Chain A
Amino acid sequence: MRSVPHRRGAALVAAAIFLGACGGGASQSPSSAPPSTSPTTVATATPEPTCDPFPTQDVEFVVPYSAGGGFDTWARLVAPYLEEQLGGDHSVVVVNKSGAGGLVGVTEVYGSEPDGHTIAITEPGILATSQIGGTTEMDVNTIMGVGQIAVDPEMIVVKGDSPWNTIQDVQAAAADGPLLMGTGGLAAINIITFDALDIPFENIVHEGSSEAMLSVIRGDTVITIFPLVTVQEQVASGELKPLLLVGTPRVEGQPGYEESKDVPTLDEVVNQPGIGSALEQHRVIVAPPGTSECVQTALSDALIAALADPDFIAQATEAGRFPVPLTGAEATEVIQNTYTVLEGYADLLKEQLGE
């Protein structure tokens, strides 16, 4: 009920801004018109879609997880550079809004004014899974991608001194019965990957990834899957043994390359090209449905430029991360593609997630 007057008020504000922008544009047009433009008649016949200036206020950059985690680190690394690329007149403010495995923050951005001043960093897999499972009202396919910051492939790991040396060893062992998998909560990637590999498992849920990894190192659970960046240290030290990479392999020089270069990919093993890239962790920035293309382009261009800034790259590299930038349009496609792929497993996901 309360949202009605609020919306109306916002519409008035938007109209006022629009009028103001037109006025500004009209007064500026004589001086700013490029000299090469042909006489006025052509311009009035096909009006160029002019964009309002953006941003007109601070941009709230919502991190739907608590401070200190992977998404938070990325957001805080990129925020100052994004601010600079957006003109520097308005701040990009990182706000942590954690809850419900990342859904609370994104849901809030989803329902906010689609003017580009509220954006979130998120992961398409979580959004798609929650829509398929019916735990969210959001329609993932209407979310506007602003860009992608990075992609993290995931790695199936077992204990360092496990007798299993290949994923085939695991498959053979699993023929005798389900394996104990240590997770920080069941996600689509666990369910679909192990289904594709035909490895039945029993899920032992933990408080978080740390506890789940320790359980594998102790030998209380026997297998798990986590982003490469999460298990990299433990793989390097030999505490964990990598068996299968789900997603895009690292190339030489990128962090995690050494730890993953000899590991086969899910695509190869189950012969389904593209399955890994739909399951790996894409870190994308999103804006609410209905965000104009003008705003999307402005944010997307700024993000791409920010991610290419040598200072940013140096800082990210020092933190063991590297960006894999995509534009807003491409990120939107990634989100929709993730949804399409996961929807193909809707029955399996619903069954496993106990909906």
Chain B
Amino acid sequence: MIEGLVSATAQVLTWPGPAFIILGVAVGLVVGVLPGIGGAGATALMIPITYAMEPEHAIAFLFAVATSSGLGGQITAILVNIPGDPPNAATTLDGYPMTRAGRAAEALGAATFGSIIGAVFGMAMLLAVLPLARNIVLAFSYPEFFMIAISGLVMIATLTRGQTYKGLIAGGVGLLLAFIGLDPINGNPRFTFGQLYLWDGIDIVPALVGLFAGAEMLSLYSTRGSASIVESTIEGRQSTLLDGVRSTIRHWRTVVVSSIVGFLVGLVPGLGGTVASFMAYGQAARMSKHPEQFGHGAVEGVIAAETANDADKGGGLLPTIAFGIPGGTLMAVLLAGLLLHGVPIGPQLLRGDLHIVYVLVVSSLIPRFLAAIVVLAVGARAIVITRLRGDVLAPVISVVSLIGVYAVNNEVRDVVLALAFAYVGYAMERNGFSRIALVIALVLGGLVEASLHQTLGTFGIGGFVTRPISLGLLAVTLVALLGPLVRRRIQTAGMAGAA
């Protein structure tokens, strides 16, 4: 395996490979920083310019675009509360509060370092389970998807602790929004008011940009006026990027668990970095000794989200490699690119030469190191913008965000939707409703409903408990949901007994 990786590295780095990687990283970082078009969309648009490249270089170039966008997206997520790419959404939850508290550099350092570790872990896990790839992919079916989705929804409880009812309301609204579109039973339009636009449901990008960026801009305008993002009361020592690296190492448990969560979610077709990062975030909050700090600048939250949304690529490659069936949008795009180059991927691949697998692994890692250096260099300087006057910053960011929303699908109605969500998000924030609960439900609602129906249509209700993985996931979810209650009961009983 080591020789394989070395020879793959050599091939990827043969001239003009490095030039393509640099180009890909540049493209990826730019689209990543701009909200809207994400890694998958940008990668698809880049496929035609790979026609003339060697297959190895094409892979490296496409991966460079795809993986760098996530690293670019974290800069805006942390500094100005705008996820540049949907998988960066969970990063805003604690990254932005850290910025407001003057800890932007630490957050950037932790996010970048976490990303790299997550990517390496994800690929390591991929190589480790490669011989079992078929069995692993085949072991996950509708009941398992349902349970993974449910365990994600349960995170809402963890994330809205202390405001359970408001959390449930926000989550409920998210579910209602998720049900707009084609129903997963017959594929008929539902709650669409006769609008073709609504057939595909509420897109995550306008929702996210509105709820987070839009709401933030409104509040920059209305409540803080000329104030900057960083609270002016913050004084004393500024955090550094190195603090972030140290925090990441200190929270190594979070890194490991988030990588595993990311890898698992990556396995589920149709899910991806966005869900992976939310689930890892919730898991980190649950494991933390001080969960009340989550959402108020807990560095573990940033680490969890950014680790998971890079580890998911390893899981996403598994169905792609094992069956030639992509495990997500990004993989679908990469696969399309590889097929254009006549690269054999899918079942033949595992039986014979693993060269292409090594090329995939190496290609996904090399650009990331390069991108990380750029992100750290640029990000450290970009922190300046958080000290700009709000009424200068807000119009610029608003325009860039809305253009980004439009660019995803060349759709003006997406912009209108984002504006509507901006007011919703602003109202939610002011009244203590969790926006994140809404987003989690919006992202997972479709999968919950579809996999429930698919399970009932194939395995029947028994499928949830007769399949070991599904049953295991159910048990974990129940423990997570009921554990705190039971513990409190025992404690009260213990105290009563003592008294």
Contacts and interface: CB of A to CB of B under 8 A. Distances in A.
Given A205-B450, A237-B347, A319 B340 contact: yes
A96 B47 CA distance: 14
B186 A103 contact: no
A207 B269 contact: yes
B457 A204 contact: yes
A100 interface: yes
A237 B324 CA distance: 10
A64 B267 CA distance: 28
Interface in B421-471: 450, 453-454, 457-459
A68 B188 contact: no
Interface residues of B, number: 52
B141 A68 contact: no
Nearest to B327: A210
Given A104-B196, A220-B458, A353 B270 contact: no
Interface of chain A, main secondary structure: mixed
Given A214-B269, A353-B188, A180 B200 contact: no
B348 interface: yes
Contact of A67 (B45, B339, B450): B45
Interface of chain B, main secondary structure: helix
B182 interface: yes
Contacts of A76: 47-48
Interface in A69-114: 69, 72-73, 76-77, 95-101, 103-104, 107
A213 B332 CA distance: 14
B51 interface: yes
A214 B410 contact: no
Nearest to A203: B186
B18 interface: no
Most buried by B among A95, A103, A319: A319
Nearest to A107: B196
Nearest to B328: A210
A238 interface: yes
Contact of A72 (B44, B326, B450, B454): B44
Contacts of A320: 339, 342
A180 B138 contact: no
A134 B336 CA distance: 34
Given A214-B269, A220-B142, A234-B323, A202 B199 contact: no
Nearest to B142: A220
A188 to B, nearest CB: 12
A218 B411 contact: no
A354 B186 CA distance: 8
Interface of B: 40-41, 43-45, 47-48, 51, 137-138, 141-142, 182, 184-189, 196-197, 199-200, 269-270, 319, 323-327, 329, 332-333, 336, 339-342, 345-348, 409-411, 450, 453-454, 457-459
Given A73-B47, A213-B323, A221-B458, 12 more contacts: A69-B336, A97-B409, A101-B182, A185-B182, A202-B457, A204-B454, A205-B185, A205-B186, A210-B326, A233-B346, A319-B339, A354-B186
* A-B pairs, 9 with minimum CB distance: A67-B44, A237-B347, A68-B44, A100-B199, A68-B333, A185-B187, A100-B196, A207-B270, A319-B340
